[in-house]
Structure 1
Amino acid sequence: MDDAAIVIFGAAVWPGGRASPALARRVGYGLAAAHARPGSPVFCSGGLGRHGPSEARVMADLLQAGGVDPGRLVLDEQSRDTLENVIAALGFLRARRLSRAIICTDAYHVPRVAMMLALLGVKSEPGPMGAGRGAARRGEWWRMSAREVLAYPYDLVLVLARRREILARTGSVGEAART
């Protein structure tokens, strides 16, 4: 077994339970990582947004349709934002005694996720991603990149301020719910 978990970060679910383009891209990256690392568990992180089912459930369904064994999938259906995704992933990694996270998200999102994981003592590396914007439309890419510019310092301060509490809370977290 690999010492890493593949961690897919959520994005919106559209009406009818369809994956938004961002969620579909991230699942595509996770699927490529899962095929490249058959010994790694796949942590799907994302709760229920405006439309159901949860982001994690949509991820799991798409991954299974892509040939990933459901026994490898672990769902975090509670997280509502990136920090909660990171905290849930940290708890999962600690519970499984895994040392690294393979980050499956959009390129604009990777630096913030990697920063938060590093501040919490987790080594990470980006998973397979599309070149440049991937399949993201130019407007979406620029809007999300601008959002990251604001979110990065906010989450930096938040993680530093709550680091001790987060580490204490995730030290005793059990395994997330299985598929």
Structure 2
Amino acid sequence: MFGAAVRADGRPSGALAGRIALARRLALDDPSAIVFCSGAVGRARPSEASVIAESLRDVVAGERLVLDEVSRDTLQTARAAACYAKANGVRRAVACTDNWHQPRARMLLWMFGVREARGAWMTHRAQPIRLRARNYAREAVALPYDAVAGAWASTGARVTR
């Protein structure tokens, strides 16, 4: 599950709450699934991953929750999830994120070796057209950037000074 902002009072932002609701539905549909909760501490504590996990504890057993509290963006989350999947023999994944974020999230998972990653489409609450346009515009810029960054990172290349 890809993280999103945590509010100053520690509650999930609207975006994160929507992703948590999607993860909850998916976890209930597959009681054996591992839920990879990702997201570092942003502007407010606690970490996105811990907010996700705490929000799901009533429907997901603790041993099924994996927390990645280091990843700060989509690229890092995809890499961490792929590393976890490879180390634990996980072959299939569901990208739990907003619809507008799905193409980039799934592309990066694929680039890092999770070849069987599908999307789970969210039913979005009503959003102002300006917000939706901003999200899609951001993705239009971020997708090609992350395609290059992901290709570079998936080769194991390191930048040195």
TM-score, normalisation: structure 1? 0.83
| Residues in 1 aligned to 2:87 and 2:52: alpha-carbon distance in whole angstroms | 22
Query: Quick check: 2:78–2:112 contact (8 Å CA) kept in 1?
Result: no
Instruction: List structure 1 segments (4+ residues) > 4 angstroms apart after TM superposition.
Output: none
What residue identity is the alignment partner of 2:96?
Answer: C
Size of the aligned set, in residue pairs, is 155
Instruction: Check 1:40–1:142 CA distance in 2 against 1; reply closer, same or farther (3 A cut).
Output: same
Answer with 67-76 or 43-52: which moved more: 67-76
Report the equivalent of 2:112.
Answer: 120
TM-score, normalisation: structure 2? 0.92
| Residues in 2 aligned to 1:108 and 1:11: alpha-carbon distance in whole angstroms | 13
What residue identity is the alignment partner of 2:127?
Answer: R
Identity of aligned residues (%): 43
Considering Cα pairs closer than 8 Å and 6+ residues apart, tell me whether 1 or 2 has the greater RCO: 1
Answer with 17-26 or 134-143: which moved more: 134-143
Are 1:53 and 2:46 counterparts? yes
Measured after TM superposition, the shift of residue 136 of structure 1 is 5.2
- Provide the secondary structure at the position in 1 that maps to 2:57: helix
1:30-73 residue CA offsets vs partner (Å, 9 max, x unmatched): 111101111111000000000000000000111114x2212210
| Residues in 2 aligned to 1:136 and 1:79: alpha-carbon distance in whole angstroms | 29
Are 1:135 and 2:125 counterparts? yes
What residue identity is the alignment partner of 2:147?
Answer: L
1:123-159 residue CA offsets vs partner (Å, 9 max, x unmatched): 20012521xxx11512322211110000000000111
More strand by share: 1
Are 1:76 and 2:68 counterparts? yes
Task: Pick one of 151, 156, 160 that aligns with 1:160.
Answer: 151
Alignment of 1:79-94 (within 5 A): 79-94=71-86
**Structure 2: tracts of 5 or more residues without a match:** none
| Residues in 2 aligned to 1:63 and 1:152: alpha-carbon distance in whole angstroms | 29
Instruction: Check 1:11–1:119 CA distance in 2 against 1; reply closer, same or farther (3 A cut).
Output: same
Aligned-pair RMSD on alpha carbons? 1.3
